[in-house]
A and B are shown apart, each in its own frame.
Chain A
Amino acid sequence: MWFDRAEEDLIRDAQSGDRTAFAELLRPLYSTALRLAGAMLQDVDEAEDAVQEAAFAAWRRIGNLREGSSLRPWFLGIVANRCRAVKRNKWWSVSRSEPPEAEAPATDLASSIDLRRALRRISYDERLVLVLRYYLDMPYEEIATILGISTKAARTRVERAIHRLRPIMHVQGATA
């Protein structure tokens, strides 16, 4: 789906040490990776740092990419792992930086703040599957590849996570 001959050639070149080929491989993925990191970290500077670190990590691991595999889920998995490490080291600042609660008069803004706050209160893994599904609009198959689980398990995780947000989302059977 995200794989074509050109990518295959670029991957082969990158695996042989061609840095330009690797940089070209990441070009179409970079904005998605930034959006993923931005949604997980809620900080554009940290998101950019995390994606850049993930990109360098991916370069060093490019030999691990199986022949015929697509780069996108593999790279986004590395980004997700990097964001997890950032969150681990910075929970204290995340916890302190919750937005002010009483200053959200407009309904849309209030509901956005409520959702962001609710997302911070669920686990990293729950947040990740929701971001992949509902923010990056990924099909369950791709979420499954990124997480290294079955498609069915990916669907179950999304459903469980959205269920945890039910009070804020007013969801009734939304994930079917």
Chain B
Amino acid sequence: MDEQAVFERFHEALELELNPGAYERFRADFLTPSVAARRRPVFRLRFTKMSLRIAAAVAVIALAIALAAGYLVTHSHPTGLVPAAKDPNVVAYQNQVAKDYNDFVVATSNHCNTIDDQGCAAAVAHLRPAMDKWISDLATAKTPAQYVVLAGRLRAHLTEAELELNAIVAAQLRHDETDFTLVQSILFYERAWIDPATFTLDGTYLTTVSSYHEAIKLANRSLSGCVNTTPGPDALACEHIAGAEACLGAAAQACVDDIQSAETQLQNFFIAFAQNPAPMPLAAKHREFEANLAAADDALLALASAQMTKDASKVSAAELAYISAINLADTQSEVLAT
């Protein structure tokens, strides 16, 4: 069989009849003014197009996925993806991350999707040991140098997710539907953060930036947009939070959306630097820079916590800590980029 025949076989086998109008649906969602004004894409997406699947999908990502699925998930993980030439310590670390992630997925379940779900508390209790184990492994593993910061961030987000899981159970117990929905959103976003970080650490996330220099230049531009000039799409949320955004009461959901976007902005940097470590002459300065990015990320986690406890003074403190860390990071990125 020649190569032309291979092309034909693939076209024959894989051609699907795609849903017509997909681009138009995306465009309409994307350009909807109310969405453009405040809401973040991920959430918006879930609650428009997927209709009936959405309730389940939010819950799936918030607390997620079927127990019975576990066996297959565990046995389907592509541990063989790592190139053979890699450092065996890195491979061992990546395999550990992949195993912990799969154990986590196995322990999740399709619960807590409504306030009336009687199995929510038990599902959270069932999930907790896998999360504790993962957090513990991240703390004690021999983490390869380029992954140290991102692994630390993942640990912080998993720890925060545990608090959020407690909060959703508490909201259910006191029949507080508003709080339940808010925490559900926060958990949904937390899961959306955890996955790309994990896939970067286990070495299966595709690279989108090709060098350290490029990564730092992009980070500098994005941070400057937030602090000094007109923000681009990735820095709008950063600008909102830096402007002492209201995060309690009626403004809570919009603030949750902005926290998630700001966390994603930072995560893009962490992933890019995990995939493109700083060259040795810049390593010390870069560590300081990433420490400030991590401080900004911690501030965002604290802001989400303050939302759950409705503590106005902690909201203010977290926002101040965030802008302070972002300002420092912006200054340092300027130095590193030149």
Which residues of A pack against B, CB within 8 Å?
14-17, 19-20, 22-23, 26-27, 30-31, 34-35, 38-39, 42, 44-45, 47-49, 51-53, 55-57, 59-64, 66, 74, 77-78, 80-81, 84-85, 88-89, 91-93, 95, 108, 111-113, 115-116, 119, 123-125, 130-131, 134-135, 137, 146-148, 162, 169-172, 174-176
Contact = CB atoms under 8 A, between A and B. Distances in A.
Contact of A26 (B19, B23, B60, B218): B23
B105 interface: yes
B45 A95 contact: no
B225 A44 contact: no
Contacts of A89: 60, 64-65, 105, 195
Q: In the complex, which of the residues B7, B26, B65, B265 has the most CB atoms of chain A within 10 Å of its own CB atom?
A: B26
B199 A88 contact: yes
A164 to B, nearest CB: 11
Contact of A44 (B17, B25, B66): B17
A85 B199 contact: yes
B280 interface: no
B218 to A, nearest CB: 5
Nearest to B191: A89
A175 B41 contact: no
A119 B47 CA distance: 32
B204 interface: yes
B78 A63 contact: no
Contacts of A112: 9, 12-13
- Main SS of chain B's interface residues? helix
Q: In the complex, which of the residues B2, B225, B234 has the most CB atoms of chain A within 10 Å of its own CB atom?
A: B234
Q: In the complex, which of the residues A27, A88, A112, A176 has the most CB atoms of chain B within 10 Å of its own CB atom?
A: A88
Interface stretch (B67-75, B288-296, B329-337): B67-75
B72 A44 contact: no
Nearest to B26: A52
Interface in B179-203: 195-196, 199
Interface residues of B, number: 71
B1 interface: yes
A34 B13 CA distance: 16
Closest 10 pairs (CB-CB, A-B): A56-B41, A92-B69, A134-B10, A148-B207, A112-B13, A115-B13, A30-B23, A63-B232, A38-B16, A39-B14
A123 to B, nearest CB: 5
Contact of A49 (B18, B50, B73): B50
Nearest to B14: A39
A20 B225 CA distance: 20
14 contacts: A16-B232, A47-B18, A56-B45, A59-B41, A60-B233, A74-B208, A81-B205, A84-B205, A84-B206, A89-B65, A89-B195, A92-B66, A112-B13, A134-B9
B251 interface: no
Contacts of B2: 174
B17 to A, nearest CB: 7
Given A175-B3, A176-B3, A23 B27 contact: yes
Contacts of A134: 6-7, 9-11
Contacts of B78: 123-125
B264 interface: yes
A15 B18 contact: no
Given A34-B22, A56-B41, A64 B208 contact: yes
